[in-house]
Structure 1
C-alpha cells in the first residue's frame, strides 16, 4: 500500500531536452548523451507515482544522460494512469491545514489516490514492465560505434523500485541465437516502496544498488541493514565482489529525495543528496557494466 510520502515533495524547474518516441508499444521519453558521446549502455527509468510525463522525472533522465554516455529511456509504464502533479499541493495542504480543513483536503487527495492505487497495483503493472524489458533485450541493442551489445540497467524510484527488484530476480528471455539472457544486467533503486524484506532481496540474482533515505518510513535504516546483510555481507553472486550489491543510507533524507526533494528550500543537503544519489546510480552502472 502507498503512503502520503509517496505523493509529497516539490516540482523542479527546468526544460527537459529529450524527445518522445514509441518504443515496444509504450510512449517513451528518450534522451541521448550530449556532445556526440558514444553510447556505452542503456538506462531505463521506472518512475515513482507521478510517472513518465512528470518534469522531475524527465529532468533526472536528462541528468543521467548529461553526466554519462548512457542512452536513457523513461517509458509510460503506468499507461496514462500516473498521479497528477497537482496532488503534491493537495498533500502539502493536508499536512499543514487545521483539523477542520483536513477532511476537505483528504477527500480531494483520495480522488487521486484511489485510482492510482487501482491502476498501478504491482500485479497489474509488473507484466507491462516485464514485457517492455523482454522486448528491449530481444531487440539486441548494440553500440552504434562498436556494434557490441549494450548493457541494460533499470533505475527505479518508490513504486519503480519494486519493479527493479522483481526484474533482478532471475528474469530471463531467449535471444535470437537461442541463448538465455537476463532482462537487465544491473539495477538501481532510490527510496523503494512495496518491498517484502527479506524475501524480495533474498531472491536477487542480478546486482542492485540501493539508495535509502534515513527518514523513510517505508524502507529506512533498519531495513537497509537487512538488505546490506544479504547483498553486501552475504555470499553475493558467485562470490564475485564485482557482482555484489551495495547500500547507501542518506542521512536526514526523506522518502522521495532522489526525485521530489525541495531543492529551493535553502537546505544545502537536499540538493547535494539528490545529486549524490544520481552519481551513485551512474557509478554503479559503470562498475557493473565495466565501462
Structure 2
C-alpha cells in the first residue's frame, strides 16, 4: 500500500470548527454534536484529524444528521505538512513512511476500539461510519462480517483507498460508495467488482458517481477547479441523507 500525489491535492475551506477535543479509546479525538442516540465515526484521509475541512464536514454531519460525530486521530500524532502538499512539494513528505506507520496492522485495532467504545461504552443505539481515502478501507474493516460483533449499522466511503476485494466481500451492513471518475486508488476494476459483489449482499447499497471529479475532491474540493465545490457539496448531502435514513 502507498500514497500518491493524487491523494494530496487540497484546498482549505473557510469557517471555524465548533467542536472540542477529547480522548476516545486512548486516541485523541475531535467531537461535535450532542445527540445521545446516534453517532458517526469519521475516519480521516492523509490530512489527518486536525485538517479544517474534515472538522467542518463533521460539524455539518452533526447538525444535519442530528448525530454526535467523532473524528479520532488514527495517525498517532503525525500531521502532514499541509502547506507542502498544497504547493506540490511532495519530496518533503515521506509517503512510504506514512504508509508503513499507518498500516492496517497498526491502525486497524485502534479503529475497532473506537467503534466499540462509541457503541458499547458510550451507549449510542446507532453508529454510522464514514471514511475518506485512507478511511475507505477502515470503514469496511469495522463493517466486516469477520468482526466478532457488529460494530456499525451503516457505512459510507468516498474515493476509498487501500481497498482489496476481500474488504468488499465481507461487508455486512448497508454501504454507500461515493466514487469519483478519476481515481487511481478506487480503480475501474474495483468499482466493477463492488457492483458484482453488491448483488450478493442482503443489505442496502447506494452508489453515486461523480463525473469529471478527481480523487480527494470530495473532502478537499478546490473552488478554482470547475465542478469540485459542487461535487463536494453533493457528496456531503448524500452522506447526510444516507445516515438520516439509517441512523434514526
State TM-score, norm by structure 2.
Answer: 0.92
Paired positions, count: 247
SS at 2:221's partner residue?
Answer: coil
Partner of 1:87: 84
Q: Does 1:219 align with 2:186?
A: yes
- Structure number with greater CO (CA < 8 Å, separation at least 6) is 2
- State the distance in 2 between where 1:88 and 1:186 align: 32
SS at 1:278's partner residue?
Answer: helix
Partner of 2:234: 276
SS at 1:68's partner residue?
Answer: helix
Say which of 105, 120, 138 aligns to 1:123: 105
SS at 1:48's partner residue?
Answer: coil
Contact kept in structure 2, 1:228 and 1:246, CA below 8 Å: no
Cα distance change, pair 108–172 in 1 and its aligned pair in 2 (3 A): closer
- State the distance in 2 between where 1:287 and 1:281 align: 10
Residue by residue over 1:155-179, the C-alpha shift from the partner in whole angstroms, topping out at 9 and shown as x without a partner, is 1010111101111112545xxxxxx
Partner of 2:212: 252
Residue by residue over 1:193-229, the C-alpha shift from the partner in whole angstroms, topping out at 9 and shown as x without a partner, is 01113x3211111221110001112114453232122
Alignment of 1:87-236 (within 5 A): 87-91=84-88, 105-109=89-93, 112-142=94-124, 150-172=125-147, 181-197=149-165, 199-231=166-198, 234-236=199-201
- State the distance in 1 between where 2:55 and 2:164 align: 28
Deviation at 1:287, TM superposition (A): 2.5
- State the distance in 1 between where 2:178 and 2:91 align: 33
- State the distance in 2 between where 1:244 and 1:215 align: 25
Q: Which runs of 5+ in 2 are unaligned?
A: none
- State the distance in 1 between where 2:8 and 2:120 align: 35
Contact kept in structure 1, 2:108 and 2:138, CA below 8 Å: yes
Deviation at 1:118, TM superposition (A): 2.4
Structure possessing the higher radius of gyration over alpha carbons: 1
Say which of 33, 36, 43 aligns to 1:46: 43
Over the aligned positions, Cα root-mean-square deviation in angstroms equals 1.9
SS at 2:31's partner residue?
Answer: strand
Cα distance change, pair 30–217 in 1 and its aligned pair in 2 (3 A): same
